[in-house]
Amino acid sequence: MDIKNIMKNKNMRFTVARTELLEILIEVSKPVCYEDIKHRINMDKATFYRNIAKFVEEDIVSSFESNDKKSYFEMKMDAHPHFICNYCHSIQCVDNLEHIELKGYEVESVILKGKCELCR
């Protein structure tokens, strides 16, 4: 993904903070919260959440809240389910479920909860 094109297509100002944040979100393979990446970014918490809110508003990033009441973020992709462990709170993207369709509805996210392999 080309970060400059992403921001240009959304008429967003190109800043170092936004670039840094998008680079990390593109690189990671699962949803992350602020605490997961704060050591990798050079911005305070307010700047992080202000930029994330803008990315969500512009439909670049998707977000959801987990059992631990933290917000998690990932680059916007096709809607796909996530599994959240009720014990260790780990989050995994689920790729092997059949397509979920509800007539008359547009599914944007599915959260499955239970016990992960490690906690079983």
User: Which mean pLDDT values do the consecutive 10-residue runs of the chain (120 residues) have?
Assistant: 87 91 91 94 93 94 87 86 90 77 80 92
The enclosing H or E element of 93 equals strand 91-93
What's the pLDDT at 67? 78
Query: How far apart are the C-alpha atoms of 120 and 77, rounded to whole Å?
Result: 30
3-class DSSP state of 15? coil
- Going along the chain from its start, the domains and CATH numbers come out as 3-75 (1.10.10.10), 81-114 (no CATH)
Question: Scanning the structure block, which residue is given the tokens 């911005």?
Answer: 43
**How high is the pLDDT of residue 19?**
92
Instruction: Write down the pTM of the prediction.
Output: 0.80
Q: Given this model, what pLDDT does residue 68 score?
A: 79
Ramachandran area for residue 11 (φ above 0: left; ψ -120 to 50: alpha; else beta): left
Q: According to the model, what pLDDT value does residue 2 have?
A: 85
Q: What is the pLDDT of residue 94?
A: 86
Residue 11: per-residue pLDDT: 92
